[in-house]
Structure 1
């Protein structure tokens, strides 16, 4: 990871510390949608051939874990084989997981074992896509 990228990720994570919680995990499953926008060739308006990726963080399945998957029905809509960088802002734990490839009719997904606390995730598919961010509280 380049020095500039480390600075941007660290700054974004610390900036998100002051954001209100988007959702709190409870006994029931909570789905928090977020979007990754395409910006082909520097065009901020997107393109007809580069649609936004609609991802979601699913909380409440297992304590201390988050599943990143698609926000569309059936778990579809998120990018495939994408690194998901995460940081638990409460404990300082960090890590990287990779979304699955979405083959054989199984939507892409990745499980983050973050432990309880405020968690920030960043998906950066690369290419013509801008990174997607989300924060949430994990029980």
Structure 2
């Protein structure tokens, strides 16, 4: 009888440990693409020589963290060395970051520690480009 009781307790502990491991597993990252359209010299129709920037927000890799990078294959397509303004609409937290320079074959990217909630990201490259923004939930 004592053996059965010990075995049942051991089985319960192992089963509970397995459930805890499943409950804490991280979700797969989600990529949310967005685009910033060119408006050379104030022409809202754009131009053939100023292509749109294709950026993406990657969420879900770590809680409360967003990575802004390019949406094209290999992480390319977003601006290099551009400022990013963000606001977490759920908490009121704000911040500013800068995309990396994209040198040595490494695409430009910026890691934002926004916290969980609904986040708005704005890129304002200036010059001949109009600002662009995206909004998305951050787990």
Does the pair score TM above 0.5? yes
- The whole-number CA distance in structure 1 between the counterparts of 2:102 and 2:93 is 27
Structure 1, gaps ≥5 residues long: 1-25
- The whole-number CA distance in structure 2 between the counterparts of 1:42 and 1:118 is 31
The TM-score, its normalising length taken from structure 1, stands at 0.80
Q: How does 1:87-126 map to 2 (within 5 A)?
A: 87-126=87-126
- The whole-number CA distance in structure 2 between the counterparts of 1:44 and 1:63 is 38
- The whole-number CA distance in structure 1 between the counterparts of 2:88 and 2:44 is 31
- For the pair shown, which has the larger CA radius of gyration, 1 or 2? 2
Q: CA RMSD in A?
A: 0.9
The TM-score, its normalising length taken from structure 2, stands at 0.80
Provide runs of 4+ in structure 1 moved above 6 Å. Answer: none
Q: How does 1:3-14 map to 2 (within 5 A)?
A: none
Shift of 1:77: 0.1
The match for 1:34 is: 34
The match for 2:133 is: 133
Q: How many residues of Structure 1 are paired with residues of Structure 2 in the alignment?
A: 114
Structure number with the higher helix fraction is 2
- The whole-number CA distance in structure 1 between the counterparts of 2:43 and 2:90 is 37
Structure 2, gaps ≥5 residues long: 1-25
